[in-house]
Amino acid sequence: MLEIKNLHVKLEEEDKRILKGVDLSVEAGSVHAIMGPNGSGKSTLSYVLSGRDGYEVSEGSATLEGADLLGMEPEERAAAGLFLAFQYPVEIPGVGNMTFLRTAVNAQRKARGQDELSASDFLKQVRERAKELKIDAEMLKRSVNVGFSGGEKKRNEILQMAVLEPKMCILDETDSGLDVDAMKLVADGVNALRDAGRAFLVITHYQRLLDHIKPDVVHIMADGRIVKSGGPELALEVEHNGYGDILAEVE
Ligand code: ADP
Ligand code: MG
Ligand code: MG
């Protein structure tokens, strides 16, 4: 699904190298987790994959189902099936959640050469998704994320994901700042969307999220590289011992 090879990324504005040769292969149907100390480049990786400005790829490649991601515009990446759930979802005053979702869905359908969904078909689809994810329909009537609690914002990200039906979902610290119940709801949402044709990259600081979203593979990122990969037990090791042992071993 996602194949990253020797990815080197620096800041556009200054000569600062952030990613220094990332290799990562995520198979369809799987969930991969990335953990790692602050500042190791986890968010940068998700930004570069989604096409955010300000970063320069100096070497390497990233493909989605074989297509060159890095050569696409951000909206083309979304149309190709990439979705990034943000660490800090933005508030958009004056734009209703439903309008936002419908615009996103129809832009994606257009890019895929499909007809727009009618208002009633769209409404039906969103209500179904919201129900499956136990999201209060009241949330759909409000402006995007305005006045939402941390938990509601994250669940709204999951709702967007459910409605857009992406193939490759990247969640960047979607659990940060959430209490245990809200985290469980996010995890339940992800689990409900797990599918043989879909893959997840879950970036997290906390192993407890991985108690609820069982990853197939756990990667440790440090100083712009993936320095170790293993099974779920690797996350437990980090939880118990911190990153010190792993980093020392790698050195
Ligand atoms: P993580 O998500 O693992 O905490 P980040 O990808 O946010 O790490 O950051 C990696 C490093 O790159 C950090 O040292 C961070 O300060 C730096 N960095 C990332 N983006 C920028 C930017 N736009 N301007 C300056 N420094 C940046
Ligand atoms: Mg950070
Ligand atoms: Mg980050």
Residue ranges of domains in the chain, CATH in brackets: 1-43+52-72+214-250 (3.40.50.300), 83-166 (no CATH)
Strand 82-85 relative to strand 168-172, pairing: parallel
Q: How far is CA 44 from CA 48, 69, 209, in A?
A: 6, 15, 21
- Expressed in angstroms and rounded, the spacing between residue 115 Cα and the centre of ligand 3 is 37
pLDDT at position 94 is 93
Taking the CA of 88 as reference, the closest ligand is 3
**For residues 113 and 231, which has the higher predicted lDDT (pLDDT)?**
231
pLDDT at position 220 is 97
Q: Which of 44, 50, 52, 202 to mutate to test the pocket of ligand 1 (most atoms within 8 A of CB)?
A: 44
Highest mean pLDDT of the ranges 137-141, 220-224, 240-244 = 220-224
Q: How far is CA 227 from CA 68, 172, 204, in A?
A: 25, 19, 16
pLDDT at position 150 is 84
Is 150 exposed, middle or buried (CB count within 10 Å of its CB: 0-12, 13-18, 19+)? middle
40 ligand 1 Cβ < 6 A: yes
- Expressed in angstroms and rounded, the spacing between residue 47 Cα and the centre of ligand 3 is 10
pLDDT at position 134 is 81
Amino acid occupying residue 45: L
Quick check: 71 pLDDT over 80? yes
**For residues 154 and 82, which has the higher predicted lDDT (pLDDT)?**
82
Taking the CA of 87 as reference, the closest ligand is 3
Mean pLDDT of 209-213: 91
pLDDT at position 59 is 97
Q: Taking ligand 2, which is a single-atom ion, which protein residues have CB atoms under 5 Å away?
A: 38
CA pair distance 211, 187, nearest whole angstrom: 9
Name the residue with tokens 């050569």: 71
pLDDT at position 82 is 97
CA terminus-to-terminus distance, the chain: 31
CA pair distance 13, 19, nearest whole angstrom: 15
117 phi and psi, to 5 degrees? -80, 140
Quick check: 87 pLDDT over 80? no
CA pair distance 27, 79, nearest whole angstrom: 19
Q: How far is CA 48 from CA 7, 110, 236, 241, in A?
A: 10, 24, 28, 30
Nearest protein Cα to ligand 1, atom 20: 44
Residue 24: its H or E element: strand 17-26
List of residues 6+ apart from 199 with CB closer than 8 A: 1, 2, 26, 27, 28, 29, 30, 31, 32, 167, 168, 169
Quick check: 152 pLDDT over 90? no
Sign of the C-alpha dihedral computed for residues 37, 38, 44 and 49 taken in this order? positive
Quick check: 17 pLDDT over 90? yes
Average model confidence (pLDDT) for the chain? 92
pLDDT in tens, 173-184: 887 778 888 888
pLDDT band at 208; cut points 50, 70, 90:
confident
Poorest-pLDDT segment among 18-22, 154-158, 219-223, 233-237 = 154-158
CB-based contact 168:83 (threshold 8 Å): yes
Mean pLDDT of 239-246: 90
pLDDT at position 68 is 97
